[in-house]
Structure 1
C-alpha cells in the first residue's frame, strides 16, 4: 500500500466523536490571540494527535492568512473540513467561537447590570503567562520547520520588521512574501518540499453547496432585516456594518479596532469612548478570536437602540446578530476556497508562494507574540515614531511584577519540567488568583 493511501486511510479513520472532543478543548482553551490559538491547534492536531502532518497544517494556515477575518478560527474550520468534510468544518469553526461568545455575552450582561467585571480579569490573570510560554514554544517549533532556507529566514525577519517597526499593512506583507516565493520557486521548493507529503487531494462532497448555503444565509439576513425594519434601524445598521467589516478585516482584529471604535462611538453612538476599551479587555481575557469584541459592541447597540422590547432582550439579540454576520462569511471563504487551494499543492510555483507566506507568518506570529508580551508584562506602553518608523515600547516604570513572576514560572514548567498543557494552564490560573488575592 502506498504512503499516500496509508495517510488517507488514517485521516478517514479518525472518529468524529474524538475530533468533537478535541475541538471543544481547543475552543475552551483558545486564549492569547491568533499566536496562542495557532500554537494550541498545532500542538493538539499535529504534535499530540498527529492527525495532520506539518506541511498540511502549514498549507492550511497559509491560505487562512490570506483571507479577511480571524485566521485562527478559519484555520480550525479548514482543518475540521480536511478531517471530516463539511460537518467537520462547521463543528470546528463553531466550537472555536462558541465558548468565547457565551462568556462575552454573560460578561456583557454583568457589565450593564453591575458596571464592573474586574474580578474576571483577576481570575484569568495567570492564564496569560501560560499563553506566553505556549506561544514561545510554538515559535521555536514553527521556525525549525518553516525556516529551512536563507530566503525563508529573511522573509520571517522582514515580515516581523515590516509589522512591528514600519507598521506596514498586513496584506502587503503577505502579498510581498507570495511574490518573492513565486519568483524564487526553485530555491524554495528544493529545500522546503516534504518528500513524504504525497497525500492525495480528497475534496469532500457537499463543500460547494455548503459555501452557497452560508453565502445565501448571510445575504438573506442582511436583506431581510433591511426590508423588515428599514435601513436606519439598529438591526440593519448592525448587519450592514459588521458584514462590511467581515470582508475587509485583513491582519487580525487589531487592524480594524480603531475603525470599529470610531464608527461605533462617533457615527452610530452605540458606545461611549471608554466602553470600547472595556470590551477589548473582556475579549482579551476570554477564549476565542479577539474580533469577538464586536459582539460587545453589538450588545450595547441593542441595549440602547432596540425599541419595542426589553433592553436586555434586545441587547442579546443584537449580540447574536453581530456574531452571526461577523463569522458566517468565514465559512463561505473556507468552503468556497479550500478545495481549490488543496489542488495547488501539486503546482510548484504556487506551492512555493505559499511556502514563502509561511515564512513571513513566522514573523507575523512573532509580532503578535511580542505585542501580547509587552501588554501583559507592562501596564503601559507608548509608540515611538520617527521618519516612517513606528515602534511599540514599554514604559519601564509600569513593570508588572506579578506578570513577570508568573511568566517565569510558566517557562520553567513548560521547558524544564515539561508539564502537560492542562496542568500548566491549571497551575497558572491558580497562581493568578493567588497573586490577585495577595495584592
Structure 2
C-alpha cells in the first residue's frame, strides 16, 4: 500500500534526512527526471512522499499548486520549494541546481553533437527510438497525477473543460488558471465539500501519515518559513542583482546590438512570461529566434525540442539549445564551440535564476496560507485544470511523435491540431505502444524502457535501410 494513502498507524515515523542524504536524493532525481513536468512531478512524489515520507501529500500538493502559478518550470521550482522547507536556503539551492545541472550538461553535449554530426544516421536513429519511449513516460506520469488530483466528478469536469479550452479554443494558460481559481474560490463558499477533497489545508480525503516537514512544523523547527517584510526585502536585494546583473554588465561591455545582450535580455523576458511550461512559449520563441534575431533556421526549434525531450531536467532547457546556436553562429572573436557554450550558460542563468527568486520570496507567504479554506479550494481546482493542460501536452506530443505531419484544420470556426493520417509513422507508433505496454502493464522502469527503445530505434532503422 502506498505510504501516501496508508492509514496504518504502525508505520515507523519518518526521520529527518541529513543534508548529505538529501543531496544524494536530489542528485538521483536530477539524473532521472525524464518525461517533462508530468514525469518529473510524479518522480518527486514517488521519491519524497511515497517512499521516504519527507513531505506529506497535502504539503506537496500545496507547494505544487503555488509553483503552477509561477512563470518557469514548475517541477524545478517544486524541488527548490521542498529543499528549502527541509534545509533552508542551502537546501533549496542544492535541490534546484541538481535538478538542472545533469540535463544542462547533457543538453550542452547534444547541442555540440547537433552542430557537428546532425546528419549522422546513427544519431538520428537513437533519438527516434528515445522520443517514442518518452511518449510512454509522459502518458504514464499523466495517469498517475490524474489519479491523485481528480478526486470527484467536479474535478474531472474542470480537467476536461481545461483541455477543451486550450486544445480547441487556444485560450491562454494563465486565463485557464485564473478561471479555475475563481471556480474553486466560489466552490469554497457554495460547495465546500466538493472542493475540499483535493488534499489542501486538511480537507476531506487527507492522508493519515505525517511527513518529515509536518513533524518539523509541529516541533517549531520551520522558523525560516515564517513570512516577514524584512526577509522579503533581503531576498529581493540579493536575487534581483544576481539575475539581472550579468545582463546589465554584458550590455555595458558589448553594446545593445550584441548577441550576448540579445540573449540575456530576450530570455530574461521569457523567464517572466513562461506560464504553462515550455510548450506554452515555444511558438513565440521560435518566431523570435527565426524571424526577429535570425538565430535558427526554420524547423530547428523542433529539433531542439526533440533533444530536450531526451534529456533529464525541465523541457524549458530547449531554450539553452537556442542560446547555444545563437552564440555559435555569431561567435565574434571566440571559437564557435566556446561562444556557443557561453551562450548556453547565459541562457540557463537568466532562465533559472528567477525560479529561485520566486520561491525564496513567496514560499513563506504560501506556507502561512495553508489553512485558508478559500485558497485551498482555489488551488484544488487549479490542480484539476492543470491535469487538463497536461492532457493537451501529451496529445500534442503524441501527434508529433506518431505522425510526420500535423495541421491546424478549420472545423466549425475552430482550428485544432489534427494529424494527416497518411503521414502515420508506423515505426514510431509500434515503439510507443511497446513502451507503454512495458511501463503500464509490466511496470518496467523508465531508464530500461528508454534504453531498449533507443536500441530498437537503431535496429529498425538499420533493417529498413538494408
Alignment of 1:111-190 (within 5 A): 111-116=114-119, 119-185=122-188, 186-190=192-196
Give the Cα–Cα distance (whole angstroms) in 1 for the partners of residues 441 and 134 of structure 2: 16
Q: Deviations over 1:31-59 (max 9, x none)?
A: 33222322333333333333333222222
In structure 1, C-alpha distance between the alignment counterparts of 2:440 and 2:307, rounded to whole Å: 30
After superposition, the Cα gap between the structure-2 partners of 1:183 and 1:372, relative to the gap in structure 1 and judged at 3 Å, is same
Q: Distance in 1 between matches of 2:69 and 2:420?
A: 34
Structure 1 unpaired stretches of 5+: 1-5
CA contact (8 A) 2:162 2:385 kept: yes
The equivalent of 1:47 in structure 2 is: 50
Give the aligned partner of residue 342 of structure 1.
367
Instruction: Kindly report which structure 2 residues correspond to 1:148-297, keeping only aligned pairs within 5 A, or say none.
Output: 148-185=151-188, 186-192=192-198, 193=203, 194=206, 196=208, 199=214, 200=217, 202-204=222-224, 209=234, 212-297=237-322
The alignment covers a number of residue pairs equal to 432
What TM-score comes out, normalization by structure 1 length? Answer: 0.89
Indicate the SS of the match to 1:31: coil
Q: Distance in 2 between matches of 1:191 and 1:103?
A: 40
Contact 2:134–2:309, Cα closer than 8 Å, also in 1: no
Distance 2:462 2:47 in 1: 33
Deviations 1:117-143 (A, max 9, x none): 664442243334443344333333333
Is the Cα contact below 8 Å between 2:317 and 2:348 reproduced in 1? yes
**Structure 1 residues 316-325 or 172-181, which shifts more?**
316-325
Cα distance in 2 for residues equivalent to 1:22 and 1:364 = 29
Quote the Cα distance in structure 1 between the aligned partners of 2:355 and 2:378: 23
State whether residues 225 and 367 of structure 2, in contact with CA within 8 Å, keep that contact through their aligned partners in structure 1. no
2:131/2:309 contact within 8 Å kept: no
Q: CA deviation at 1:72?
A: 2.0
Deviations 1:314-341 (A, max 9, x none): 2221221111111111111111111211
Q: CA deviation at 1:115?
A: 4.4
- Which residue matches 1:74? 77
Q: Distance in 2 between matches of 1:428 and 1:21?
A: 28
- Cα distance change of structure 1 residues 359 and 79 upon mapping to structure 2, 3 Å threshold: same
Look up the match of 1:109: 112
Alpha-carbon shift at residue 421 of structure 1 (Å): 4.1
Aligned to 1:3: none
- Contact conserved, 1:303 with 1:312, CA < 8 A, in 2? yes
* Partners of 1:424 and 1:145 in 2: CA distance: 24
Superposed displacement of residue 19, structure 1: 2.8
User: Which one has the bigger helix percentage?
Assistant: 1
Q: Secondary structure at the match of 1:251?
A: coil
**What's the TM-score once normalised by structure 2's chain length?**
0.84
Q: Does the 8 A contact of 2:250 with 2:260 survive in 1?
A: yes
